[in-house]
Each structure stands twice: as C-alpha cells, then as structure tokens.
Amino acid sequence: MAGMDSRGGGAGGGGSSSGYLHHLLGPAQPPAASSSTHLPPHEESKVSPEESPGADQGDGEGDQPSSSAAGSGGPLRRPRGRPLGSKNKPRPPIIVTQDSPNALHSHVLEVAAGADVVECVTEYARRRGRGVSVLSGSGAVANVVLRQPGASPPGSLVATLRGRFEILSLTGTVLPPPAPPGAGGLTVFLSGGQGQVMGGSVVGPLMAVGTVVLMAASFSNAIS
C-alpha cells in the first residue's frame, strides 16, 4: 500500500512538476481585456467633442440665439403695415350751420277741391319768396285750358277741355315776383273718361275736382 502511495505520489509529483515547467516554458498569454477601458487622467481630458455625450445638445443650443442675447443686442424686427384700428377711426361729423342758397327743399302740397291748382302754387311761391318746381301730381281736375305744342304761330292753338280728367303728369316751375310772367309755367297730361290722353301747357285755370297732391321742391335765388 505504501509503495502504491509512493508511486502515486511520484506520479502526482511528476505531473505537477511537468505542469510547472510547462507554465514556465510556454508563451506568455496577455491578460483578458476587461469590458471597461480605464484611461489615465491626462487622457480623459483629451476626449474629442464628438464623443462627449452633451456635444449634440450643446451644438443645438448654440445654433439658436438665446432670448436674452436677442433682446439685449440683436436687431428688433419692426411690424409692417398700419397699426390696428387706424382705418376705423371715427370721423368728425359734418355740421352745416346754414343752408346753402342753392339748396333744394322738398314739399308735399295739397290743393283742396274747387281751388285753382295754378293759383295755389303761384301764391305759395310768392309768400315764401322761393321758386317752386313741381315734380309730379295726382288727382282729378276739370275745365282745363291747354295750349297745344307745335302750333304755328306758337300759342295759336288753344283747347278748352270740359269735364273731369285724371292727372297723369304735372310738371313745371313757378317763380316769385319780380320774375317776368313768361319765366315759368306748368305742363300737364290728362286722361279722359274713355281712355284718351291729351296734354299741353296750362294757359288758364286748372280747377281741382277732388284733393290734388303735388310733389314739389323749392329753391332760393330764383331771380339773379
């Protein structure tokens, strides 16, 4: 048993001695590289900006100027166009202190039944001292004396109409004194009971059968 142990021990000793010699005579193997690389302190300071984790953020922030720098030293952008509300400013009202001498004033004149329309308009112009332009009229008249246009010599053809007639159109101008008698005049177109239409310059009375309504405009400085 002792001999077996010594041989075994010798075999074991020879194996250990050959392993030790193999370790001494074999090529030197470099140590395994660690997962993390440790750099000396003076090499860490030389890391390039591209490898720095905050390089991208720093570059992005550097491209855009800060608000404080733009507010303090940067040029200010002036707004274009007119200011808001410049076109909507209220304008002062136009106040007319006195009427213009050539201003027209509108009137609605009513002539009672049985009155002469021409005489009423002439009296109105004389009392007001203003010229009267009759624009239109409505109502019925009777016993009309008209001068037909186009007669030769002028005014030679005068027609007297008996009966009731409806006014289709009544226009003309009546001037106050000292206007000459022929300075103004009225022109009327009438419709008869059977649909006939006649007209001309009024040279006589124009008697109102019912209420005759006239639309007129008056003006000053009728005689200059």
Q: How confident is the model at residue 28 (pLDDT cuts 50, 70, 90)?
A: low
User: What is the reported pTM?
Assistant: 0.53
* pLDDT over threshold 80, residue 206: yes
Question: If we measure between CA atoms, which residue out of 173, 177, 170 comes closest to residue 132?
Answer: 173
Q: What is the mean pLDDT of the chain?
A: 73
Residues 123, 163: contact at Cβ < 8 Å?
no
What structural domains does the chain harbor?
A: 105-219 (3.30.1330.80)
∠ CA 27-23-37 to the nearest 5 degrees?
Answer: 60
* Partners of 202 in beta bridges: 146
189-200 pLDDT, tens digit per residue, is 999 988 889 899
pLDDT at 82: 72
pLDDT at 3: 43
76-120 pLDDT, tens digit per residue, is 777 777 777 666 667 788 876 776 767 888 999 999 999 999 999
Coil, strand or helix: which one is 160? strand
